A and B are shown apart, each in its own frame.
Chain A
Amino acid sequence: MAWRLRLVPVTTNIDFFRLQWVTFGSSLVAMAASLILVFTMGLNFGIDFRGGTMIRTESTSVVDVGAYREALSTLELGDVSISEVSDPTFRDDQHVAIVRLSARDGEEAVTPEVITEVEAALKAVDPSITFPAVESVGPKVSAELITSALWAVLAGTVGILFYVWVRFEWQFAVGTVAALIHDVLVVVGIFSLFQIKFDLSIVAALLTILGYSVNDTVVIFDRLRENLAKYKQMPLREMMNLTANETLSRTIMTASTTLISLIVLMIFGGDVIRGFVFAMLVGVILGTYSTLYMAKNIVLMIGIDRSDKLKSTEKNEFANVDA
């Protein structure tokens, strides 16, 4: 037998329900904690959602946040935040900082005069400074972006709920969606805990996590449906373990190739998309976990009606192509 890299033995017999109250319980705790975090600490919204202006500065000399703040303090800009950005992809003489100005009441976008003033003030501190990106979002648009982002995540979830319901059973749909909510909520919680900038790209990441997580869950459910038809007498709990063990190799394999891509992006992809990649990274890990420990538990808790529906899966257009 040729050598193969195997992260999972050929046959496993893990009881995924042995510690179900610990695993399921900790998932519930994590979800509750995330909710509490979001409501108490809030999210560090980027200008997409909060309105305001973001100026990216780049200079050949080292960023002196104190001096920048000093220079801007005389301009009466309201809430100003300055943070240095470091990244392994930067050149040695590339020093980047992000200056964020909050939106002012009654103004749709920051006026060009304000931006010119800020740029002049920073130039006085560091003559070699350049401004590779300047972005302003008015409060009107940012409010709409929040709404449409929420709608997108909601619509994504409902769409998936519906699809899984049609293709499988409603119990499966509930399990899938519970796992999805878990994944998205905990990612948002982590962003709140570490106060990582939360902008439009993070919403795209959340939606992709939805897609990934449901993909993972559906593969197991697909096998479960097949096994339900095959072993009519096996208790549900045992069958779920069998299914999860049968597909474990694939679950781990896909998670690892995706994680590899993400880690590469994290290291080499530059700082602009780091937040996005980080969200995905956490989401993929959570998605894999929730597939194994969350979605199935819920289906088991609800139980499946195994009497009449089984025949209908036989007629399913995709299953049992060779039959």
Chain B
Amino acid sequence: MESSPLWKRIAILLFCGWGILAAAPNLFYGRVEGHNDAIAAIDLAGGTATPELEAARAEWPDVLPSALMNLGLDLRGGAHLLAEVQVEDVYKSRMDALWPEVRDVLRDLRDQVGAVKSLPSPDGVLRVAITNPDGMPAALEAVKGLGSSVVSLTGIGESTLSVTAEGTEIVVQLSDAEKLATDERTLAQSLEIIRRRVDEAGTREPTIQRQGVDRILIQVPGIGSATELKGLIGKTAKLTFNHVISRTSDAGANPGPRNLLLPSLDEEGVYYIVEESPVVSGDDLVDAQPSFDQNGQPAVSFRFDTTGARAFGDHTFDHIGQQFAIVLDAEVISAPVIQSHIPGGSGIITGSFTVEDATQLAVLLRAGALPAEMTFLEERTIGPELGQDSIDAGKRAALIGMVVVALYMIASYGIFGLFANVALAVNIALLMAFLSTIGATLTLPGIAGIVLTMGMAVDANVLIFERMREELRAGASPRRAMEQGFDRAFSAIMDSNVTGLLVALIMFWLGSGAVRGFAVTLGLGILTSMFTAVYVTRLIVELWLDWKRPKTIVV
């Protein structure tokens, strides 16, 4: 077998060179991070840079690669939340919103169906009684008419509503296809809103991912605690304007069907009974800004879109002199009396706010309401000091491990051990280069994975060198022994690494969080170590043989 052709050698060297260059930013983590942040800040400012930003940018040359490995929460510190979205909430609000429509269509059929009454029913189901059973078919027909076709890939053609008759009662709920489609939308909307809220808080590289059917994983580095994060995203921020029926101080008062008893936010012991179906909701908002009322108190001004504005205008026109309640997350912020018709679709929310409250409320309203509540299944807070300790410990272990393994290899294989060490160093550089380029997240188990890779990566070289020893003992020439050593060991190297890769894949596929990070490091480490052990070591040994042309070699 001939020695490797020139193009192959150059390709290998170029690849190694790229690896070292691309890994380099990680050695100057702070500086490169400052550089990247400065570029982002300059971009955001539309290309104008302050002297400080320019200085931060100059810390790292623009021409060099600047991708970094992301540090995981366990290394940087931050908060991790796993939330489950209560998708059923949406079924309920859909049914609540449907009741006035159902009432109106049935009222138009009063001659046939008689009187119409809404009955108490489980969440997500609307139960309506009619007094004239003969009108049932017409009533069903009319209510069915309120549904539309499901908009989804699988449920096309099905109605959004499932309407059935039980005696003199009509039972309305979302059809199964519509429930599925609704769940999809709820999750997508929740993701988007959480993302907007976290982004408004301006933290670095948050991870916001959907997991499974109804879960969302939120990881925010640098935030103080999971509780703080929950404060930011956990609020549903559901804003509605409801018609007030009465005001009471009895916490146990029975509000009646389709009505709600809600506590007042700032008046202790005061409750309002309001209609459950809102006049307008936060969904109809187009803008919300912190502002001040006539008395100079902090307030939030808002503007409705056209539908919202029309509904709000009609309501205020019909109910002059009556109260309406501004409800945020099931608490009444304020309940002003309608003084006059408000046609313009804009208004102001007053309450006993501080400026911060008003600002936060405006942010939440602007980002939109979460369509459903969330429960938190898992929450983790890691302090930045613990993360720094882990980085230090990991670095120390990696460095010492590398030195000891290197010495051991030289002691065992002499100059060939040295060659293997060069390959090992290139391997670590390549691994870091890949992790940076794909933007993988380095976690503490990931660092353990790198240290472990160092121990296991020399395996391929050990296999090759042991094979070379055998060939030499059998009387092969140095060159022949090298070729045989590399070629014959290849089958074993391949088999053992493929199984390792298989395990890494399975870990990635089934694992979560830190286990996944570990799997990525381990898998990439196997790939890079195969490359360096086989190609890089071989190239070095070939170059050495060409240069020295030894008559005999000792491995």
Contact = CB atoms under 8 A, between A and B. Distances in A.
A155 B488 CA distance: 31
Contacts of A222: 491-492, 495-496
B456 A254 contact: yes
Nearest to B424: A257
A200 B515 contact: yes
B466 to A, nearest CB: 4
Contacts of A258: 452, 455-456, 459
Given A148-B510, A204-B445, A215-B459, A210 B503 contact: yes
A207 B445 CA distance: 13
Given A256-B408, A258-B456, A260-B404, A152 B510 contact: yes
A130 B502 contact: no
A249 B466 contact: yes
A291 B414 CA distance: 28
Interface stretch (B131-139, B342-350, B382-390): B382-390
Main secondary structure of the interface of B (DSSP, over half): helix
B41 interface: no
A260 B383 contact: no
B156 interface: no
Contacts of B401: 260-261, 264-265
Interface string A238-269: 00000000110110011011111110110111
Interface string B188-206: 0000000000000000000
Contact of A254 (B84, B458, B473, B502): B458
A138 interface: yes
A87 B519 CA distance: 27
B378 to A, nearest CB: 5
Nearest to B499: A214
B380 A136 contact: yes
Contacts of A10: 469, 473
Contacts of A204: 445, 507, 511, 514-515, 518-519
Given A152-B506, A218-B496, A253 B397 contact: no
A35 interface: no
A289 interface: no
B522 interface: yes
A36 interface: no
B510 A133 contact: no
Interface stretch (A68-76, A108-116, A186-194): A108-116
Interface in B417-472: 444-445, 447-448, 451-452, 454-456, 458-459, 462-463, 466, 469-470
Interface string B486-519: 0110111011111110111011011111110011
B483 interface: yes
Contacts of A152: 506-507, 510-511, 515
Interface string A109-134: 10010011000000000000011111
A203 interface: yes
Contacts of A64: none
A247 B506 CA distance: 29
Contacts of A163: 498-499, 502
Interface stretch (B171-179, B222-230, B247-255, B318-326): B222-230
B499 A201 contact: no
A250 B462 contact: yes
B452 A155 contact: no
A321 B534 CA distance: 14
Contacts of B386: 56, 58, 132-133, 272
A318 B503 contact: no
B492 A140 contact: no
Contacts, number: 253
A133 B519 CA distance: 24
Contacts of B382: 132-133
Contacts of B377: 108-109, 137-138, 140-141
A223 B493 CA distance: 11
A19 interface: no
B502 A277 contact: no
Which of B401, B404, B405, B484: most chain A CB closer than 10 A? B401
A247 B469 CA distance: 12
Given A1-B554, A250-B463, A261-B452, A109 B393 contact: no
Contact of B397 (A6, A156, A265): A265
A135 interface: yes
B225 A134 contact: yes
B290 interface: no
Contacts of A200: 512-515
A277 B414 contact: no
Contacts of A232: none
B4 to A, nearest CB: 14
Contacts of B511: 148, 152, 203-204
A257 B390 contact: no
Contact of B383 (A133, A249, A277, A318): A133
Given A132-B382, A136-B378, A257 B393 contact: no
A164 interface: yes
A201 B445 contact: yes
Contacts of B381: 133-135
A20 interface: no
Contact of B226 (A134, A145, A160, A265): A134
Interface in B527-550: none
B352 interface: no
Interface string B402-419: 001100110111100000
A94 B401 CA distance: 25
A5 B416 CA distance: 13
A1 B553 CA distance: 9
B495 A264 contact: no
A40 B261 CA distance: 54
Interface string B35-70: 000000000000000000000000000000000000
A322 interface: yes
A3 to B, nearest CB: 8
A159 to B, nearest CB: 5
B15 interface: no
Contacts of A260: 401, 404-405, 408, 455
B512 A148 contact: yes
B412 A253 contact: yes
Contacts of B456: 212, 215, 254, 257-258, 261
B375 interface: yes
B275 interface: no
Given A201-B445, A256-B408, 16 more contacts: A5-B412, A112-B227, A134-B380, A138-B377, A140-B84, A141-B378, A200-B512, A201-B515, A222-B491, A247-B466, A250-B463, A257-B462, A268-B393, A269-B394, A269-B451, A272-B444
Interface of A: 1-2, 4-6, 10, 56, 58, 89, 108-109, 112, 115-116, 130-138, 140-141, 145, 148, 151-152, 155-156, 159-160, 163-164, 167, 200-201, 203-204, 207-208, 210-212, 214-216, 218-219, 222-223, 226, 246-247, 249-250, 253-254, 256-262, 264-265, 267-270, 272-273, 276-277, 280, 316, 318-322
21 contacts: A137-B377, A141-B378, A148-B512, A156-B506, A203-B515, A207-B507, A215-B456, A223-B492, A246-B470, A260-B455, A262-B452, A264-B451, A268-B396, A269-B447, A272-B390, A272-B393, A273-B444, A273-B448, A318-B495, A321-B491, A322-B1
